[in-house]
């Protein structure tokens, strides 16, 4: 049986890190003191969480011109990683598919997007998506933290596979998430129904 005293600190640490991420996501770049204030945790605890998130590549810290005092050095702020980390998105649609890169702040690296006509077969779909994702993962100086797939139709979120897609029937009974993760070296992957993906995007980033 697992010792609860060993589990609890790790769990609390993850919860504190999530609080810090939520504060920065909601309010934009923050100083370390502001992180503690807006996340509702003590300064030492916030500092420990920030350190873990920096090491994990989820946050970046730097001088932010225009956010400091009128004199002296610009203020140092913590922000969601955009320059050193990326997440990939794969949008599957009836006519065309798109593979994009974004920072953790939701800003797309638009010039790096790859688009291609939706193939006639599932194997060709995975081949094209893996090629575009691999190109994006090969960009120097960026770590790739995960891949999100927007899939139309009915999906089984637990099994990460399509059930019935009238517009893209090649995905029926298939798991693009599982297959692309295998092709991309075990990259973490999630699948969302396309309408759910649109709702999440609007919730976090606006229309």
Task: Assign residue 50 a region (left: φ > 0; alpha: ψ between -120 and 50; beta: otherwise).
Answer: alpha
* pTM of the predicted model as reported, rounded to 2 decimal places: 0.80
Query: Which residue in 42, 49, 111 sits closest to 78, CA to CA?
Result: 49
Query: Which residue in 107, 20, 19, 32 sits closest to 77, CA to CA?
Result: 32
pLDDT 10s digits, 33-69: 999 999 989 999 999 999 999 999 999 998 866 555 5
pLDDT 10s digits, 143-184: 999 999 999 999 998 888 999 999 999 999 999 999 999 999
**71-85, 109-123, 166-180: which has the minimum mean pLDDT?**
71-85
Query: Which residue in 125, 121, 123 sits closest to 97, CA to CA?
Result: 125
| pLDDT of res. 6 | 52
HEC string of 37-83 equals HHHCCCHHHHHHHHHHHHHCCCEEEEEECCCCCCCCCCEEEEEECCC
Cα angle, residue 203 at apex, residues 197 and 205 outer, rounded to 5°: 95
| pLDDT of res. 133 | 96
**Contacting residues for 94 by C-beta, under 8 A, at least 6 apart:** 118, 152, 167, 168
Mean pLDDT (the chain, rounded): 88
Q: How far is CA 167 from CA 6, 42, 150, 160, 192, in A?
A: 49, 51, 13, 18, 16
Report whether 93 contacts 47 (CB < 8 A): no
């Amino acid at each position: 049986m697992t010792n609860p005293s060993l589990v609890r600190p790790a769990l609390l640490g993850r919860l504190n890190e999530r609080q810090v991420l939520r504060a920065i996501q909601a309010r934009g770049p923050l100083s370390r003191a502001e992180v503690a204030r807006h996340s509702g945790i003590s300064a030492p605890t916030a500092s420990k969480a920030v350190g873990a998130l920096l090491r994990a590549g989820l946050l970046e810290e730097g001088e932010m011109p225009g956010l400091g005092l009128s004199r002296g050095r610009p203020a140092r702020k913590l922000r969601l990683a955009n320059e050193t980390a990326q997440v990939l998105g794969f949008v599957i649609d009836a006519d065309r598919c798109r593979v994009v890169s974004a920072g953790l702040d939701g800003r797309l690296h638009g010039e790096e997007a790859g688009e291609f006509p939706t193939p006639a077969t599932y194997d060709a779909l995975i081949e094209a998506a893996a090629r575009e994702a691999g190109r994006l993962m090969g960009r120097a100086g960026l770590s790739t933290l995960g891949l999100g797939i927007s899939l139309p139709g009915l999906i089984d979120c637990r099994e990460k596979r399509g059930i019935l897609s009238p517009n893209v029937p090649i995905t029926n009974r298939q798991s693009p998430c599982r297959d692309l993760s295998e092709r991309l070296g075990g990259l973490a992957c999630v699948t969302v129904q396309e309408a759910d993906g649109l709702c999440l995007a609007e919730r976090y980033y606006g229309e």
